[in-house]
C-alpha cells in the first residue's frame, strides 16, 4: 500500500531509542524526512546512522530536553531550520517513576506533568501554525494503554497520561477544518528498554503476557506501523481516536 507521504517532514520526539526510534525508522522507510530528538547527542548520532544505513532516508537530529522551555525551543528551531514547516508531529516521552500514591511527592507529580502533558502541549503549539497555513497536518501522541485501563504501580503515568485523551479529542474537533488529524496511539507491553526496566528480562514476562490475548509482547516495529499509518494520507478520515496497539490487553469495549 502506498501511504502517500514520501517527502513529508516529520518531527519525532524521544526518538533515539525505544518506540520513538522505531517510529522514526518506519517513517524513513516510507520516504519521510525525519528529525529525531532526545537529550543525549551520542545516542542521537547512533540512531541517525542506523536509520540512514538501513533506509537510505534523510534524517536530522536535535538535542533538547522537552521538559524545559529551552530544550523545546532548541528542537523547534532545528525543525524550522531543516524543514521550514513540519507536516507530522509524533509526541513521545519516557515514563515517570513507578510506585503507589504515597511513594510520590508533589514535586514528582509536577515533574510527571511537565514530562507528559506540558511537553506535548508546547510541541503542538510550536508546529501548529505551519500546519494550519498549509492545510495539512498529522499530530500523533504516543501515550499508554494505562489511559484506558490503569496499570498497578504506575499511578503517575495512569493519572497524567489520561489528560491526553481530553486534549486529543478536543484538538481533533478544533483542527479538522484545517485538514489536520489528531490521534492517540496506546502502546501495550512492547519489547523496549522501558519494559525491561519495569519488569526485568523476558524470563519474568509470563505473569503479564498471560493477560494479553495474543500471548506475547509486541515488537517496536509493530507499534511503529500503526503510527505510520495514522501519519499517512491513507488515514485522512481518522481523527480523535485513541488506538490501542496492545494485543487485546485492554478489556473494555
> Is residue 240 domain-resident?
yes
pLDDT for residue 195 is more than 70: no
> Is residue 226 domain-resident?
yes
Q: How confident is the model at residue 42 (pLDDT cuts 50, 70, 90)?
A: very high
Domain that holds residue 33: 9-244
> Is residue 250 domain-resident?
no
pLDDT for residue 203 is more than 80: no
pLDDT at 204: 64
> Is residue 249 domain-resident?
no
Q: Which three cell numbers stand for residue 65?
A: 530536553
Q: Are strands 180-187 and 242-245 parallel, antiparallel or unpaired?
A: parallel
Q: Which three cell numbers stand for residue 94?
A: 519516557
Query: Given CA atoms 204, 207, 209, 215 in this order, what sign does their dihedral have?
Result: positive
106 versus 195: which is more confidently predicted?
106
Q: Where are the beta strands (DSSP E) in the chain?
A: 9-12, 33-38, 59-63, 88-91, 137-142, 180-187, 242-245
Q: Which three cell numbers stand for residue 29?
A: 522507510
In this structure, what are the phi and psi dihedrals at residue 36, rounded to the nearest 5 degrees? -100, 155
> Is residue 93 domain-resident?
yes
C-alpha to C-alpha distance for 17 and 192, rounded to whole angstroms = 8
pLDDT at 205: 66
C-alpha to C-alpha distance for 206 and 123, rounded to whole angstroms = 37
> Is residue 228 domain-resident?
yes
- When divided into structural domains, the chain yields a total of 1
The predicted model gives 103-126 an average pLDDT of 96
- CA within 13 Å, CB half, 104: 20
The predicted model gives 170-181 an average pLDDT of 98
C-alpha to C-alpha distance for 93 and 19, rounded to whole angstroms = 10
> Is residue 1 domain-resident?
no
Nearest Cα residue to 235 out of 132, 136, 164, 127: 136
Nearest Cα residue to 23 out of 203, 227, 207, 215: 227
Q: What is the CATH number of the domain that holds 191?
A: 3.40.50.720
> Is residue 173 domain-resident?
yes
Amino acid at each position: 500500500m502506498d501511504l502517500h507521504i514520501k517527502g513529508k517532514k516529520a518531527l519525532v520526539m524521544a526518538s533515539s531509542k525505544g518506540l520513538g526510534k522505531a517510529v522514526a525508522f518506519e517513517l524513513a522507510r516510507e520516504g519521510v524526512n525525519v528529525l529525531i530528538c532526545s537529550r543525549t547527542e551520542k545516542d542521537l548520532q547512533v540512531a541517525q546512522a542506523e536509520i540512514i544505513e538501513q533506509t537510505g532516508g534523510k534524517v536530522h537530529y536535535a538535542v533538547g530536553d522537552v521538559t524545559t522551555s529551552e530544550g523545546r525551543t532548541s528542537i523547534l528551531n532545528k525543525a524550522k531550520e531543516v524543514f521550514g514547516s513540519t507536516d507530522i508531529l509524533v509526541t513521545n516521552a519516557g515514563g515517570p517513576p513507578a510506585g503507589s500514591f504515597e511513594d510520590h511527592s508533589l514535586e514528582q507529580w509536577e515533574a510527571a506533568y511537565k514530562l507528559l502533558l506540558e511537553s506535548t502541549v508546547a510541541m503542538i503549539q510550536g508546529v501548529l501554525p505551519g500546519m494550519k497555513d498549509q492545510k495539512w497536518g498529522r499530530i500523533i501522541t504516543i501515550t499508554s494503554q494505562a489511559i484506558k485501563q490503569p496499570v498497578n504501580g504506575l499511578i503517575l503515568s495512569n493519572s497524567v497520561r489520561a489528560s491526553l485523551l481530553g486534549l486529543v479529542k478536543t484538538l481533533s474537533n478544533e483542527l479538522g477544518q484545517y485538514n489536520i488529524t489528531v490521534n492517540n496511539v496506546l502502546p501495550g507491553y512492547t519489547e523496549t528498554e522501558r519494559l525491561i526496566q519495569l519488569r526485568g528480562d523476558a524470563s519474568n514476562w509470563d505473569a503479564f503476557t498471560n493477560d494479553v490475548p495474543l500471548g506475547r509482547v509486541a515488537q517496536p516495529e509493530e507499534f511503529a506501523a500503526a503510527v505510520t499509518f495514522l501519519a499517512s494520507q491513507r488515514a485522512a478520515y481518522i481523527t480523535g481516536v485513541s488506538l490501542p496497539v496492545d494485543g487485546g490487553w485492554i478489556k473494555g469495549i
